[in-house]
Amino acid sequence: MTRLWNDPASFADDVVGGFVRANGRWVRRVPGGVSRSTRSTEPEVAVVIGGGSGHYPAFGGLVGPGLAHGSAMGQLFASPSAQQVESVVRASEQGRGVLLTFGNYAGDVLHFGAAQEAVRKDGIDCRTVLVTDDIFSAPPAEQHRRRGIAGDLTVFKTAGAAAAAGYGIDDVERVARAANARTRTMGVAFSGCTLPGAEAPLFTVPEGRMAIGLGIHGEPGIELTDIPSADGLAELFIRHLLGGAELPEGITARGARVVPVLNGLGSVKSEELFVVFARVAELLEEAGVEIVDPQVGEFCTSFDMAGVSLTLFWLDEELERLWLAPADTPAFRTGAVDPASLQQVADDDGARPAEEDTLPESGEDSRRAAARIAASLEAMRMAIDEAADELGRIDAIAGDGDHGIGMQRGTAAASAVASSLAARGAGARTLLERAGNEWSNRAGGTSGAIWGLILRTVGEHLGDAEQATAGRIAGGISAAKDAVMAYGKASVGDKTLVDSLVPFADTLAARVSAGDSLSEAWLAAADAATAAAEATADLLPGMGRARTHGEKSLGVPDPGAVSLALIARRVHAVLESAAASA
């Protein structure tokens, strides 16, 4: 359980502030995260990492000479937004290209991908390598679907060492991919974690039991078993990780060289880890594996979760040299970095100048529409506040349980900025674009990316000068539907928000075309979305974190679809009130 915080909503920002104050030798704060406070005398390919907060020392703790150049740091257990990633990239790149590397989670893939496209438009050669080391998140034949956990360290370190050695972007990407292909991790957990301000853990494990394969955000494991002895846990790890299906292609255990990383997930202490590692080392040696530079400690935590993971990094000559190369960061140090090879970076180095906070010109009709949109966003905030616990509960069945929290952060941020902009006379497009950006920034994660995209797309169709007619609104929502499906690659039937968004958008467009008023058409569309959301209880998920544990979600609707339907109904009340007033 966590005990120390000021405002839970600002906890992640407060963490970054204190982390930078404590580690100014290595890092400086930039919008969206941290970047190195020093730079090598010769330009390097920039390795930019990142993910949600709550996993220290991943990700900020791994920024420094010989390792990462910058880290985008999102809200607790939520991916950083595209704007945050882009900011860190621009503050860290040195003209030789950028490698983005991070765990394979839907929200991170969406946000880092959008940032990559944004900087590529400015001529920055930006590549991506996903970390996919968790053996229980997908079968061996589908390694590209696996999520990234403590194996992040081996990929980040290899890429950072290659950059420090002067490798070009092609070779930094090559060795990062090679490191990922040779990294396997298995994790277990004994209890869940409690986020700041929460009254209960984000997820639970039954007393006296151990979840095998449980994810670092609380994604369900593959099975529950009694808690073994330390030796029994070591034997479980080695049995799975040295199994033939999990040995990387071309590797035979006997005679191979491997870096073992035994990782504590938050509240399992070093003394316990050492007891487990003694048996791990024995078993590896009995299998004829040569141990190289073993690591025991905390490298990727899950706030205060009680859990342990074992990573095996199978080396070749080049990967071993890069792994053993010097690195100096707040949380990982090896060898000796020559301080004469470094120069201090100015605090504003690489940062873009702040844009003036001016509003584009807007028409009176658009300003009236913007005021109604602001009222709708406030209604959405209130609806999500009331439903957040239930949304979290159904998300925890086969996901990580934070959908309600993320939606709360997003709707609160969007409503606040919309209210301010409406009072200042913003048009509909400007209000929706900025509210969408704020939702994306503050919520992070998949829902933040998607809802930010929805608001921005609708805003593009409404404009700042035109009247927000029913036809224009329906057209904007249809365009948002298409944008979400193209962006997230989900289809109807995958048990996602798309299952309620598609019938909502299609029904709204059809009823408006038939001559219904916006309020009448919206009600019919909200009914369609609600029915579709309820029907997702009968579906198996085809996308996202829940995909690997789909059977657990049978009988439970998708939280993203439910929250969209809930929002649609609450917005209808605002439209109905406006129609009555008119």
Whether residue 261 contacts residue 251, with contact meaning beta carbons closer than 8 Å, is answered with no
How far apart (Å, rounded) are the C-alpha atoms in residues 122 and 325? Answer: 33
SS3 of residue 145 by DSSP: helix
Q: Is 118 exposed, middle or buried (0-12, 13-18, 19+ CB in 10 A)?
A: middle
Map tokens 């006997």 to a residue: 254
**Inter-CA distances, 273 with 133, 312, 394, Å:** 20, 15, 34
> Kind of pairing, strands 46-53 and 38-40?
unpaired
How far apart (Å, rounded) are the C-alpha atoms in residues 311 and 132? Answer: 12
Residue count (the chain)? 582
Query: H/E element holding 74?
Result: strand 70-76
Closest CA to 462 of 376, 358, 576, 555: 376
Rounded to the nearest 5°, which phi and psi values hold at 5? -160, 170
β strands within 213-332, DSSP E: 223-226, 257-264, 290-291, 295-297, 306-314, 327-328
Whether residue 568 contacts residue 525, with contact meaning beta carbons closer than 8 Å, is answered with yes
Can you give the C-alpha Rg of the chain in angstroms?
24
List alpha helices for 132-258, DSSP H: 152-164, 169-181, 230-241
- Looking at residue 299, the DSSP 8-state letter turns out to be S
Structure tokens at 45: 């390919």
How far apart (Å, rounded) are the C-alpha atoms in residues 1 and 304? Answer: 7
Q: How many CB atoms lie within 10 A of CB 520?
A: 18
How far apart (Å, rounded) are the C-alpha atoms in residues 246 and 185? Answer: 10
- Looking at residue 243, the DSSP 8-state letter turns out to be S
CA dihedral sign of residues 131, 136, 142, 145: negative
Catalytic residue IDs: 217
**Inter-CA distances, 9 with 18, 78, 413, 479, Å:** 16, 13, 11, 32
Structure tokens at 335: 């060898």
What contacts 436, CB < 8 A, 6 or more positions away? 414, 451, 452, 453, 454, 455, 456, 459
What is the full DSSP assignment across 90-133? HHH--SS-EEEEEE--HHHHHHHHHHHHHHHTTT--EEEEEE--
- % helix / strand / coil in the chain, to the nearest 5? 50, 15, 35
